[in-house]
Structures are given as C-alpha cells and as structure tokens.
C-alpha cells in the first residue's frame, strides 16, 4: 500500500482503483479510514481532507444465483 502511495496515488479513489481497497465485505467502511491514515503519513495530506469514494452499484445488476454458478460450471467440466 505504501509503495502505491509513493508511486503517486495520493487519493483514496486512486488507491482504490489500483489495489481494489474498499471492495470487500465492509465496502470500505473499515479499511478506507486506515488507507486515509497511510496517505496522510506518506504525503502529509490530512485524512480529514481526503474525499471518501462514493459507493457505486454494479454496472449491471446480477442475480445472486449467477455469482455462485461459475463454481458449479468448473466442477461439472472436471467430471
């Protein structure tokens, strides 16, 4: 994470796009505050002045059954 910040990614949005932070189960509610603190330590930009990325819905809604279907397809292709 620090290496990416040192490479010039000085915003939460930029770090998120490169490392996919904030895209897990918590959707950034926990980890983005830590990333903001790391950006502050590396760049001097106060965490309080950093803009939190806006949550975005998926580009195309998916049925939940589709998300688990891939694993089923892999299993059946191995049989």
Question: What pTM, to 2 d.p., does this model score?
Answer: 0.67
The total of structural domains in the chain comes to: 1
Domain of residue 62: give its range: 2-78
pLDDT tens for residues 2-53? 999 999 999 999 999 899 888 877 778 888 999 999 999 999 999 999 998 8
What does the DSSP assignment read for 1-53?
-HHHHHTT--SHHHHHHHH-TT-STTTTTTHHHHHHHHHHHHH---GGGSPPP
pLDDT score of 37 = 96
């Amino acid at each position: 994470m620090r290496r990416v910040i040192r490479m010039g990614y000085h915003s939460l949005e930029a770090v998120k796009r490169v490392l996919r932070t904030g895209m897990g189960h918590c959707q950034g509610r926990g980890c983005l505050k830590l990333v903001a603190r790391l950006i502050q330590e590396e760049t001097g930009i106060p965490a309080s002045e950093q803009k939190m990325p806006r949550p975005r819905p998926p580009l195309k809604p998916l049925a939940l059954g589709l998300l688990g279907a891939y694993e089923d397809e892999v299993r059946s292709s191995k049989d």
